[in-house]
Amino acid sequence: MKLLLTVCILSLLCITPVFADLFGDLLGNADKIIDAGKKIAPALLKAAEEITPEQEYYIGRSVAANVISQYKVWDNPEATTYINTLVHVLAAYSTRAETFGGYHALILDSDQINAFGAPGGLILVTRGMLRNCSSETTVAAVLAHEIGHVQYQHGLKAIQSSRMAGLGGAILDVTTDNLNYSNSVVKDLTKAFSGAITDVAKTLISTGYSRDLETQADQGAVDILKGAGYNPSGLIEMLQQMKKNLKPGGPDFAKTHPTPDQRIQVVSAKIGKPTPVDEDPALTARFHAALDGI
């Protein structure tokens, strides 16, 4: 058992050159390494375990609550029902048609042009974003992008990286001579996990996902739109309108997403030559009935 723990810890320490430089001291302190390993092992296992759909649901609820604490919910049952209807239709054509708690949407009472896809299928979209949309097809494009984030579990990827970064720091501390393993290590490991919800909310609101993840969400949105019978060129039309309305440096999509031009280039490569959005008059009438005056 001692040998196994020692090998595990040394394997982890091989991750970076900084850890590798410490091999000499570590090899001379096997008992200390084993003692620390016993304390760290449970946290390592928790970091590595797959988050269950139920856990994802509760994480998403917490993240959504964090977002709602900064944005007031718009109380308009008709508009909210309309947005939820579109989300349910679109989600049926995603690669994650079902989540533990199902897909749900809320409209945020904000003039910012923004939208959020929280883990588990909670979609939050601002009034400002909906004003940016000129048709049901363009609204569907916004929602499909956020569903793309959910289906690829981008929020959970942010949590996992946050956890492992914290664990890396705690493992580095194990190699110091003056560490009180019974307190400091446990405290650091606890801290590595306790901020996971805040980290995801910060990613959604402040820092945004990487360009690669945003590209993946847009490509997923194209497939979702096609499956649901919407013209995927609506995503390009929405981005063109967004380009006109976004204010550089503002606390909205311009802060957390690639530029509309960058995204249009990606979407165009995915769908080929865009075609005019000429939607069924019934869809246009439904759009105006629900969102006129927003």
pLDDT of residue 16: 41
Per-residue model confidence as pLDDT tens digits over 201-258 = 888 888 888 889 999 999 999 999 999 999 999 999 999 998 888 776 665 555 566 7
As a whole number of angstroms, the distance between CA 19 and CA 229 comes to 53
By the 8 A CB rule, do 140 and 230 touch?
A: yes
Q: By mean pLDDT, which of 21-25, 184-188, 273-277 is the weakest? A: 21-25
* Mean pLDDT across 112-133: 95
Q: By mean pLDDT, which of 75-89, 130-144, 246-260, 275-289 is the weakest? A: 246-260
As a whole number of angstroms, the distance between CA 139 and CA 11 comes to 49
By the 8 A CB rule, do 67 and 120 touch?
A: no
Confidence at 45, pLDDT banded by 50, 70, 90: low
Per-residue model confidence as pLDDT tens digits over 150-191 = 999 998 888 766 555 555 555 555 444 444 444 565 565 555
* Mean pLDDT across 3-19: 40
Q: Which residues contact 268 (CB under 8 A, 6 or more apart)?
A: 236, 274
Residue whose C-alpha is closest to residue 115's, from 78, 93, 141, 137: 141
Inform me whether the pLDDT recorded for 194 exceeds 80: no
Confidence at 9, pLDDT banded by 50, 70, 90: very low
Inform me whether the pLDDT recorded for 43 exceeds 70: no
Confidence at 10, pLDDT banded by 50, 70, 90: very low
Inform me whether the pLDDT recorded for 7 exceeds 90: no
* Mean pLDDT across 266-291: 92
Tally of CB atoms within 10 A around 196: 21
Inform me whether the pLDDT recorded for 49 exceeds 70: no
Tokens 């049901």 sit on residue: 136
Phi, psi of 18 (to 5 degrees): -60, -45
pLDDT of residue 29: 55
Mean residue pLDDT of the chain comes to: 79
pLDDT of residue 205: 84
Three-class SS string for the chain? Answer: CHHHHHHHHHHHHCCCHHHHCCHHHHHCCHHHHHHHHHHHHHHHHHHHCCCCHHHHHHHHHHHHHHHHCCCCECCCHHHHHHHHHHHHHHHCCCCCCCCCCCCEEEEECCCCCCEEEECCCEEEEEHHHHHCCCCHHHHHHHHHHHHHHHHCCHHHHHHHHHHHHHHHHHHHHHCCCCCCHHHHHHHHHHHHHHCHHHHHHHHHHHHCCCHHHHHHHHHHHHHHHHHHCCCCHHHHHHHHHHHHHCCCCCCCHHHHCCCHHHHHHHHHHHHCCCCCCCCCHHHHHHHHHHHCCC
CA dihedral 133, 236, 120, 203 (to 10 degrees): -90
By the 8 A CB rule, do 205 and 70 touch?
A: yes
pLDDT of residue 100: 94
Per-residue model confidence as pLDDT tens digits over 60-108 = 888 898 889 889 999 999 999 999 999 999 999 999 999 999 999 999 9
Report the DSSP beta bridge partners of residue 73. 108
